[in-house]
Amino acid sequence: MKRSEKASYVGDKLAELYPETPIPLDHSDPYTLLVAVLLSAQCTDKRVNLVTPALFALASSPQGMAKKSVDQINAIVRPCGLAPRKAAAIQGLSQILIDKHGGEVPKTFEDLEALPGVGHKTASVVMAQAFGFAAFPVDTHILRLSQRWKLSPKGGTVQRVEKDLKRLFSEDSWNKLHLRIIFYGREHCSARGCDGHTCEICGHLNGPPKAKRKRVAKRV
């Protein structure tokens, strides 16, 4: 099966399984989404959603958050891991949004990635989900499944996988598709829950696992 045929099957199957693509991180506007995505680095969305209500009760805007100390923020976000670094980034980017962007989240990759704690993946999520810009954020699920499904056979890096997937899928599908792949990876094709043949999509694309040849002991 050609890669283009695999991509077509994957896109159709995931659209069938997940017609709706709600954003997994609770938020109310681009700023709270930005903060939530920043907190989700090396942390589950479920845990972030448990933490952000208290954080956004403390402050839910750049103007409010910039007035809080890093220690205040850190005390709340500690369960998310890497808390001191994330707390400093949240306080710092809030002040930068006030100083350089009129208190608004910028709508360009360049400006977003210049903010503390904001890498390309975080910027991609914000651009796609807050502003509707076509982007293909690559997380660990997408990295794993793109190689398991041989959509990015060489893979290896987030940059390479993102480039390969953008070539295979139409631009108007990116924003929903990246979420659909994440949903499927969590529910059906986890790192330990599928060996590349167990789940429905892997089974269709890769077929049954090859039988291992039995080793015959040599006669002495």
Cβ-Cβ contacts under 8 Å for 140 (sequence gap 6 or more): none
Give catalytic residue positions: 121, 139
- Ranges of H-type helices in the chain: 3-17, 30-39, 45-58, 62-66, 70-77, 83-101, 109-113, 120-129, 140-148, 158-168, 174-187, 200-206
In contact, 184 and 14? CB cutoff 8 Å:
yes
Dihedral over Cα of 23, 26, 28, 31: its sign: negative
